Structure 1
Amino acid sequence: MIDDLEQLVLCESFSSDLAAVARSAEVVAAMGARHLGVRPEFLVIDGVTHLRWTFGTPKVLLLGHHDTVWPMGTLATHPWSVVDGVARGPGVFDMKAGLVQTFHALAGLDSLDGVALLITGDEEVGSITSAKLIEDTAREMTAAFVMEASADGGALKTARKGTSLYTVQAHGKAAHAGLEPEKGANAGIELAHQILAIAAIGAGATTVTPTVLSGGTTLNTVPAAASVGVDVRVAEVSEQTRVDAAIHSLKPVVPGTRLEIAGGPNRPPLESAMSASLYALAQELATGLGIGPLTSASVGGASDGNFTAGVGCPTLDGLGAVGGGAHADHEHVVVAEMPRRTALLRALIDAVR
């Protein structure tokens, strides 16, 4: 397993470098073929390379991704290593160790019948090209097991917030800020009103966060345009719907300005009801394997498991690596946990297909 993990980590796969993602797909496909006895379908959508294996009439979907957030050349500053039972390197935790565990779990089954494995190439940038592929693949499945890394302490992820993304643009009228500011319509002031209104939409577990700001052209010109990006995280579909309606209902305040609103829901929430039965099963199986008890976590970050849950497929997430530091300099994997998580996945597959 360590040798396989080294091979994947040494093939850098920055999401925004489509050639690198394609090279990574070849490495992942070859590894899968070696363990599973057959090469996958190569599904290239808008230049992004995804891989899918299908065995018989699948009932169980295993879901992962091979792209990472790390720019090409990161290995020079974050080299592959295994020291004192801890593996390090770009993408080792999120989520190349999860792919290794998946292949080894499947290789240990008596039969692969009833299993589908989908490994996408753009999860880290919002799954723009793979969202429909994931939904279509998951729609008729009995269960989806997401091989994303675990939460703190190895906790399985039984709930994830859904995400929505927006851009709110204020359009006004430029004028000289010193000579005749009254002849302008200040898009910056309009945007300030909107930022306060947007932030007020959040409530309870729902966060509505203004993020990237831009506006104006020169210090002595009334801004004719200004914009803000908005990140939304919700625990329930009803909240995603409420926030979407509220954002699209924003009205301008400053005379002479107008608003342009783009965006909407990106991923539906993975609600705990969609994972409850699978988590209970995992607890039972872990006890039998001598690797329990398991713990669970609800997290704010989204994954492709949000899509599978969104089409009604029971979904359990966080079955991949145990470690920490996703997207951070201290990214790492606890090697001793890899065979244990592999055994748990294998047992889960056998129990539900």
Structure 2
Amino acid sequence: MADRLTDILFELQPWMLRDLELLVSSESPSTHQAHLNTAAGAVSALGKRLVGSEPKYLPGEGCSHLLWTLGDKPRVLIVGHYDTVWPAGTIRRWPFTVEEDKASGPGCFDMKAGIVQAFYAVHALGRPDGIQILFTGDEETGSVSSRDAIEELAAEVEAVLVLEASLDGALKTSRKGSSMYRFHVHGRASHAGLDPEKGINATVEMAHQILLIDALQDTARGTTVTATTLRSGEASNQVPPSAWLDVDVRATSMSELARVDAALRSLRPTLDGAVLHVEGGIDRGPLEHAQASELFIRARDVAHGLGLPQLREATAGGTSDGNLTAALGIPTLDGLGAVGAGAHSEGEWIQISAMPERAALLAGLIDSLLVSPINDCTNR
């Protein structure tokens, strides 16, 4: 079977493109329950046709998560999401389009092409026992209601394959971890013209804090600490009594996330009488290279055996559900979805000719893992 995967999937390419159009045309903004329900139905129908069974619907917050289980003891978990960042109605002004070797439409790259490729990969393998497929509906908003399911399922398998889009064609063998914080400053209001000296200026206090926060970055280690959303004050003629600031932290190691976390929590007000509160913390640990290296080597060997282009690996600055599974010590390989570009941006696109190639790669990797687990699978 393995030596015929590429030929089989190239023959199915027209149907893959047709099914991609169906999924892209079924809008699935993360915050719109009705659209998510419709999109879940479209994904479910495609899975039933290609995998041969209905999924189990796992309830979430405003959405459902779809789980297929093939066989009694799953050993490989395939993870993806069907929600997108695009608001309802986007498809009317930006419909699914095909131009030469590119297909474009809201969510096609991130990550509906990955869903199509996964279903066709499983179909080409003859629906093998030993795998689970999970497509969630809240990844773009932080996987709040799907996180427990992802972690519980991952804890029972030997490897996790994540269908996020590739990075310029490269698989993602490491991802930064992330932390999110909100700083609150409480000062005291006073009239900005009559008696400003009686106030405690929350804007000035937050300005001091921003400089201290910014100094925690370590670009040599790839650690970013970014002050993002800021708001202060209530009126233009008033000393601001309050302010809040969001801070985004990214790092390649848990030790760096912990260093920044400790430093942020140790900050103290600089103005007499000001009060500082910090909310939030470490959200997702990094997907470290050690958790993906053996899976990448296996994927590279599979690609070579199938006559596919040589695989490359890369580090991604963003997070995915792969961060969650890697943090459990489960071997995780990310970026197995579409080849293309433009995630979260107008005009995102996928390379049509790469769809059967990446489906064949995924199928070959699944087959290889079911025959022979990777060495790292017991390192938990």
State the TM-score, normalized to the length of structure 1: 0.98
* 2:131 corresponds to: 115
* 1:166 corresponds to: 181
Equivalent position to 2:63, from 30, 39, 48? 48
In 1, Cα distance between the equivalents of 2:249 and 2:188?
Answer: 30
* 2:152 corresponds to: 136
- Whether the aligned pair in 2 keeps the contact of 1:140 and 1:313 (CA below 8 Å) is no
* 1:32 corresponds to: 47
Equivalent position to 1:83, from 95, 99, 112? 99
- Note the residue ranges of structure 2 that are not aligned, 5 or more in a row: 1-15, 371-380
Equivalent position to 2:325, from 301, 308, 313? 308
- Whether the aligned pair in 1 keeps the contact of 2:74 and 2:132 (CA below 8 Å) is yes
* 1:150 corresponds to: 166
Helix, strand or coil at the partner of 1:50 = strand
- Whether the aligned pair in 1 keeps the contact of 2:182 and 2:246 (CA below 8 Å) is yes
Helix, strand or coil at the partner of 1:173 = coil
Aligned ranges 1:163-242 → 2 under 5 Å: 163-203=178-218, 204=220, 205-242=222-259
In 2, Cα distance between the equivalents of 1:20 and 1:43?
Answer: 17
Aligned ranges 1:50-69 → 2 under 5 Å: 50-55=65-70, 56-69=72-85
Instruction: Report whether the alignment pairs 1:259 with 2:276.
Output: yes
CA RMSD of aligned residues (A): 0.9
- Note the residue ranges of structure 1 that are not aligned, 5 or more in a row: none
In 1, Cα distance between the equivalents of 2:291 and 2:283?
Answer: 19
Give the deviation of 1:47 after TM superposition: 2.2
Equivalent position to 2:305, from 288, 294, 300? 288
- Whether the aligned pair in 1 keeps the contact of 2:25 and 2:91 (CA below 8 Å) is yes
In 2, Cα distance between the equivalents of 1:76 and 1:110?
Answer: 37
Q: How many residues align?
A: 352
- Whether the aligned pair in 1 keeps the contact of 2:304 and 2:310 (CA below 8 Å) is yes
Helix, strand or coil at the partner of 1:42 = strand
In 1, Cα distance between the equivalents of 2:265 and 2:88?
Answer: 38
In 1, Cα distance between the equivalents of 2:324 and 2:232?
Answer: 34
Matched AA of 1:260: H
- Which contiguous aligned blocks of 4+ residues in structure 1 show a shift greater than 4 angstroms? none
Helix, strand or coil at the partner of 1:327 = coil
Equivalent position to 2:344, from 327, 330, 346? 327
- Whether the aligned pair in 2 keeps the contact of 1:65 and 1:121 (CA below 8 Å) is yes
- Aligned residues: percent identity? 51
- Whether the aligned pair in 1 keeps the contact of 2:178 and 2:282 (CA below 8 Å) is yes
